[in-house]
Structure 1
Amino acid sequence: MSTPFEPGAPAGQGFIPLCVPEVRGHEWAYIKECLDTGWVSSVGKYVTRFEEQIATRLGAGQAVAFTSGTAALHVALMLAEVGPDDEVVLPSLTFIAPAFAVRYLGAWPVLADVDPRHWQMDVEQVRGFLTEGCRRQGGQVINQATGRRVKALLPVDLMGHPADMDPFMELAGEFGLTVVEDATESLGALYKGRPAGRLGHTGVLSFNGNKVITTGGGGMLVTDNPALANRARYLSTQAKDDPLEYVHNTVGFNYRLSNIQAAMGCAQLESLNDYVAAKRRIQQTYREGLAGVPGLGFMEQAPWAGSACWMSPILVDPAAYGQDSRSLLKALHGQGIQTRPLWQPLHQSPALAGSFSLGCPVSERLYQQGLCLPCSVGLTPSDQELVIGAIAAGQGGGSQAA
């Protein structure tokens, strides 16, 4: 859907953006050091420091920096030995990147629904698929409908709320699958007291411009397995077997994060706790401020989850609210308030034709009713009041804030 706003437009002057970066620490100083010393590309002290700091933050053995979360997902699936005509189970309601990473390898997504309360991949539906929709054959798990081998599970921590990872790990153990945790939206979140991003066999983070912390664009692969980390570094650095003689014995990728980007990441990471706290306050303020408005709903927070609250979505029931989510979106945009829908469910995407769907009615409903509200770390209380007032005034079909 088109928007009347430039995606990177700054806040202020009558415009409230959806989610823009916050720069308040040592970003300029660290980046200037890279420029002054000439260490600007994929080698430099900030790349190593950023990897080490992320690993320490998550309590993980290893972290490998990438150009994007999508690149890290691609390599994580390669490390899981996903190949042509294999299948990987992931939620239909998510950004398309994990599904594209599956397709890069010639494999196919199995698209699962999300649960209606917490919006995370439905554990019971996945369990039913593996136990009733698949057969064991020669140590492999075969989808009876497609004849393809199921190789991995790829839960996504939607909107910064962790997926229910323990049951997925149990299923993986029972069926001999690998779990890649897509934590690209959930840095700073907790699952049963454990950091999101290190709950699967591998985990993936993202530092895109709209994430809780940003490097402008970037990602990280997290693992406790040194051999996997070394393989990830090797593949992401054009698979150089001899960097002096430029010997390459396999196909590699230009996926390494630059020192400049890592420098920004180090500075941003210093403020992560404050940023997550701000995100949580913003979401709680929306919950409280819109609690009495008929027809509005929220993602429930699971008792085992400490969400990073990356985005602050609401659900708009048109029958009770008086207009649908897209009408409200247009009305808010007319008042200088940028919002966006949730993602189109992947089982509806022409780009993924040929994928196998488990049936995703909850994802379809959330897509139709969902709307993400402004939630930049630097969102001011007065601007948030304007957003809440405009939404409250829109109930019943109105379009102007009181």
Structure 2
Amino acid sequence: MYNDLISFIKNWYKTDEYIPLHEPRFDETDKKYLLDAVDSTFVSSVGKYVDQFERGVSTYLGVKRAVATVNGTAALQVALRLAGVKKGDEVITQPLTFIATANAIAYNRATPIFVDVNRETLGLCPDALDNFLRNNAQERGGKTFNKISGKQISAVVPMHTFGHPCKMSQIKNIAQKWNISVVEDAAESLGSKLSDKHCGTYGELGVLSFNGNKIVTCGGGGAIVTNNDSLADMAKHLTTTAKVAHPWEYVHDEIGYNYRMPNLNAALANAQIGKLDVFLADKRDLANSYKDFFSTREWGEFFNEPSQCRSNYWLNAVITKDRYGRDTLLKATNNAGVMTRPVWQLISDLDMYKNCQKGDLKNARWLQERIVNLPSSARINEQG
């Protein structure tokens, strides 16, 4: 039943070799930038490419500032701290996400609360968020507290799953009503837009990832983005070990982190981001072709971008009819040398987070039983 899908994918990538889920694309420009960074001898966290990359990211997204970090998880950890999350607080997020979303909360010695996603976006559901807060929260002195635990709920972290934008306007309005900060996990959604506004720019703070499997990669790498200069300055300070500027003295005024992006990685990132629009165009072509393919198949429905959105289609997804359909598709494709994968196990079910408070997660569980991610690499090498 799945041979036609396997043939379609192999024909798209013009190979009978193993096809990975999402591999990076490099060319001579990437090598040139890397060699220039090596020749400069500035390969650590000081160098022109770090500053250049930060300017490039902020310009692309239309925000004032971007602060480059060693990876997206570090960016989210620091962004949550900047948003006011402290030891003993609680942070609302979604269970259908990569583990880093919850881990970054835990790194701040806070506790995640898991609220359901919706099927239209795969991301945090505004109705579920609203219902949870109305039933479980109370406001005291301009802050929101959990009536069950007594702890402060200080932030909410929506994540744009596979690059598909959450309903950010509704989420932001609910958060403002409850005086809760919004920190946007846009790790997977560089280039995605909701109503012509880039993902990562709706909250006071947003975070990006440039991991090896992302559209733009520098091996690792992340960024904190914001329109708040004070927060950006503090982000840069904290991620540079909280070192006070001085020509020679080593003075650190608080506990910071060695989280700045190295110049070597930033050189590669600069080369990559210059090709972002080409990557996005090719990935949209692939998504449209998948959409056409699945329009005549009853065993799976292609997940299309939500309304009023332009997704980057970082990872394409098909929704099968049930768990059996998911598992048989995974087995057939992977046995044929075409890498597919299920969505993550729900974070709320993992041992370290299973005792956290959660709402009704019926949509997340329904999706977990049915989602299969399909090969989604761009074909930039064909285009020169």
Assess same fold via TM > 0.5: yes
| Residue number in structure 2 paired with 1:399 | none
Shift of 1:278: 1.2
Secondary structure in structure 1 of the residue aligned to 2:149: coil
* Structure 1: gaps (5+ residues): 1-9, 382-402
Shift of 1:12: 4.9
Residues 259-304 of structure 1, C-alpha deviations (whole Å, 9 max, x = no match) = 1111111111111111111111111111111221112123242222
Please give the TM-score of this superposition, normalised by the length of structure 2: 0.92
Rounded Cα–Cα distance in structure 1 between residues aligned with 2:208 and 2:226: 11
Superposition map of 1:154-165 within 5 A: 154-165=157-168
Amino acid at match of 1:58: L
Shift of 1:132: 2.4
* Kept after mapping to 2: 8 A contact 1:25/1:268: no
Amino acid at match of 2:243: K
1:307 correspondence with 2:311: yes
Rounded Cα–Cα distance in structure 1 between residues aligned with 2:220 and 2:15: 24
Secondary structure in structure 1 of the residue aligned to 2:49: helix
| Residue number in structure 1 paired with 2:37 | 34
Amino acid at match of 2:336: Q
Rounded Cα–Cα distance in structure 1 between residues aligned with 2:309 and 2:35: 38
Q: Percent identity?
A: 36
Superposition map of 1:65-214 within 5 A: 65-214=68-217
Amino acid at match of 2:30: E
Amino acid at match of 2:340: T
* Kept after mapping to 2: 8 A contact 1:11/1:17: no
Shift of 1:171: 1.5
Residues 287-330 of structure 1, C-alpha deviations (whole Å, 9 max, x = no match) = 111221112123242222110100001111149xxx42122211
| Residue number in structure 1 paired with 2:289 | 285
Shift of 1:16: 1.0
Amino acid at match of 1:236: T
* Kept after mapping to 2: 8 A contact 1:209/1:216: yes
Shift of 1:11: 9.5
Amino acid at match of 2:301: G
Superposition map of 1:256-295 within 5 A: 256-295=260-299
1:60 correspondence with 2:63: yes
Rounded Cα–Cα distance in structure 1 between residues aligned with 2:381 and 2:226: 37
1:364 correspondence with 2:375: no
| Residue number in structure 2 paired with 1:396 | none
* Kept after mapping to 1: 8 A contact 2:242/2:256: yes
Amino acid at match of 1:254: N
Shift of 1:70: 0.3
Cα distance change, pair 363–11 in 1 and its aligned pair in 2 (3 A) = farther
Shift of 1:242: 4.5
* Kept after mapping to 2: 8 A contact 1:118/1:299: no
Amino acid at match of 1:355: C
Amino acid at match of 2:203: G
Cα distance change, pair 355–158 in 1 and its aligned pair in 2 (3 A) = same
Rounded Cα–Cα distance in structure 2 between residues aligned with 1:11 and 1:291: 23
1:350 correspondence with 2:351: yes
Amino acid at match of 1:350: D
**Structure 1 segments (4+ residues) deviating >6 Å:** none
Shift of 1:166: 0.9
Shift of 1:123: 0.3
Rounded Cα–Cα distance in structure 2 between residues aligned with 1:207 and 1:25: 19
Shift of 1:146: 2.1
* Structure 2: gaps (5+ residues): 1-12
Rounded Cα–Cα distance in structure 1 between residues aligned with 2:366 and 2:295: 21
Please give the TM-score of this superposition, normalised by the length of structure 1: 0.88
Secondary structure in structure 2 of the residue aligned to 1:33: helix
| Residue number in structure 2 paired with 1:14 | 17
Rounded Cα–Cα distance in structure 1 between residues aligned with 2:16 and 2:46: 40
Shift of 1:13: 5.3
Rounded Cα–Cα distance in structure 1 between residues aligned with 2:170 and 2:118: 14
Cα distance change, pair 186–210 in 1 and its aligned pair in 2 (3 A) = same
Rounded Cα–Cα distance in structure 1 between residues aligned with 2:40 and 2:15: 36
Rounded Cα–Cα distance in structure 2 between residues aligned with 1:155 and 1:118: 11
* Kept after mapping to 1: 8 A contact 2:186/2:208: yes
Rounded Cα–Cα distance in structure 2 between residues aligned with 1:203 and 1:318: 34
Q: Superposition RMSD on alpha carbons, in Å?
A: 1.8
Rounded Cα–Cα distance in structure 2 between residues aligned with 1:151 and 1:11: 50
* Kept after mapping to 2: 8 A contact 1:119/1:299: no
Rounded Cα–Cα distance in structure 2 between residues aligned with 1:25 and 1:305: 33
Residues 343-352 or 129-138, more deviating: 129-138
Count of aligned pairs between the two proteins: 369
* Kept after mapping to 2: 8 A contact 1:118/1:300: no
